[in-house]
Amino acid sequence: MKSKTISSGIVRAVLTLVALGIFLFFLYEVRFVIAYIAIAAVTALICRPLVQFLERMLKIEKNIAVIITIFMLLGVMIGLGGLFVPLVVEQGHNLSLLDIKKLEANVEHIYSDFVSNFNLEGNQLAESFKGIKFLEKLDFSFIPDVLNSIVSGLGSFSIGLFSVLFISFFFLKDRTLLENTLLILVPEHRENQFRNSFLKIRNLLSRYFVGLICQISILFIIYMTGLLVIGVQNPIVIAFLCALLNLIPYVGPFISIILMMTLTMTSNIGHEFFAYILPKTFWVLVVFMIGQLIDNFVSQPIIFSKSVKSHPLEIFLIILVTGILFGVVGLIIAIPAYTAIKVILKEYLSENRIVKKFTENI
């Protein structure tokens, strides 16, 4: 009897592992669908305040308000694409006409200016770079393949965009659709707790994502204004890219300043380095620092305190840990996931002393 019990337990364990493996494999196969649903859920959270504004303030019927919101979102995306597509086409055309020898001469000219202005003549390290052809070994044959990959990727992007907009429409139209779908996985006696948790999470994350849009908009305006004053080429595109990268905590601003300074220098590569390029790059750095100071001391504290209701140090530690464990993806999802976990803990373990202290602000 004991051996039968052990053998049946082993069989159940094996079957459980097999079922779990099949389930994980299924999730892996439909990972893109899961990603579309997740993006659509976030999109619905962001667009929900606009739908409510159209319904309550302008007295527009709900379905019409949702359709207007989706078309406005699509219009914004087309407008952003209209900014980037001409730039990509122009850069592709420039690459096809690229004069390698002229580019190499410009790079060596900048290097010579750097050596002469810093009195590095005779320096052993500087002398070792003399006569080196910086670009002669570079192979630009990969450029057509990259361009073809971009074109082929547009098809997949179009399918993904249509899927996200389609799912977002129904999430906005039926605001309990996602909640009712998730309720299938919840035991019946836990349904009320789940509904309360879901409502709090939805409201907190909705405010958080709207706050992020405001944060990006403020940075975009600061960057764009500064770059326009300085006279940097393509200021709107550069400002938007750098503001968007700020969504990645801590790493994003570092990438932004490198991108901003690099594009500024490469756009003026034919000018004198110390007389023209370096001063302009310095002012670009000043613009970036002004934007970051406003963001770090004004925008972010308001967003964190009013939306996710967490202490800045608490947020910093969570972002640090998730960044180490999951990389860039962890940096992006850290705050929303942490907020959801806090709400769930408070709802299900509200009597626990540690949880009560941990979630007292929610």
Place of tokens 């464990």: 325
User: 88 and 171: one domain?
Assistant: yes
pLDDT of residue 44: 85
Distances (CA, A) of 245 to 198, 295, 361: 29, 13, 29
Closest to 220 in 3D by CA, of 336, 73, 334, 83? 83
How far apart CA 245 and CA 263 sit, in angstroms, is 15
Helices of type H across 30-176? 31-56, 62-96, 100-117, 124-128, 142-173
Domain presence at residue 110: no
Q: Does the structure show a pLDDT above 70 at 36?
A: yes
CB 289 within 8 A of CB 256: no
Closest CA to 40 of 140, 162, 191: 162
Kind and range of the H or E run holding 190: none
CA 77, chain centre distance (Å): 15
pLDDT at 225: 92
C-alpha span between 298 and 303 (Å, rounded): 9
240 and 202 fall within a common domain: yes
pLDDT band at 135 (very low <50, low <70, confident <90, very high): very low
**Residue 182 counted as domain residue:** no
168 and 204, same domain (yes or no): no
CA distance 231 to 280: 8
Q: Count CA atoms closer than 13 A to 323's CA, side-chain side.
A: 14
Residues with Cβ within 8 Å of residue 92, at least 6 apart in sequence? 143, 147
CA distance 141 to 44: 43
Tens digits of residue pLDDT in 305-333: 667 777 777 777 888 888 788 777 777 77
**Are 262 and 167 within one domain?**
no
**274 vs 104, 106, 256, 268, 286, CA distance in Å?**
18, 14, 23, 12, 17
**CB-based contacts of 349: which residues, under 8 Å, 6+ apart?**
355
Please tell me whether residues 153 and 193 are part of one structural domain: no
**109 lies in some domain:** no
Measured CA distances, 193 to 176, 262, 336 (Å): 15, 52, 19
Structural domain includes residue 111: no
Apex CA 181: angle with CA 355 and CA 165, to 5°? 105
How does the average pLDDT of the chain come out, rounded? 76
- The three-class DSSP label of residue 310 is coil
Give the residue with greater pLDDT, 343 vs 144. 343
Q: Does 116 fall in a domain?
A: no
231 DSSP assignment: T
Whole-prediction pTM value? 0.68
**Would you list the DSSP string of 42-78?**
HHHHHHHHHHHHHHHTS---HHHHHHHHHHHHHHHHH
User: Is residue 81, in this structure, part of any structural domain at all?
Assistant: yes
311 — alpha (psi -120 to 50), left (phi > 0) or beta?
beta
Residue 29 has pLDDT above 70, yes or no: yes
252 in the same domain as 194: yes
User: Is the pLDDT reported for residue 223 higher than 60?
Assistant: yes
Into how many domains does the chain fold? 2
121 exposed, middle or buried (CB, 10 Å; 0-12, 13-18, 19+)? exposed
Classify each residue of 152-182 as buried b or exposed e, where b means 16 or more C-beta atoms within 10 Å of its C-beta. Answer: eeeeeeeeeeebbbebbbebbbeeeebeeee
Q: Say which range, 66-75, 134-143, 216-225, 248-257, has the weakest mean pLDDT.
A: 134-143
Are 167 and 275 in the same domain? no
Q: Amino acid identity of 210?
A: V
Same domain, 347 and 209: yes
Distance CA 186, CA 89 (A): 51
Domain housing 159: 1-98+140-175
Q: Who wins on pLDDT, 356 or 213?
A: 213
Single out the residue in 152, 175, 198 at which a domain terminates: 175
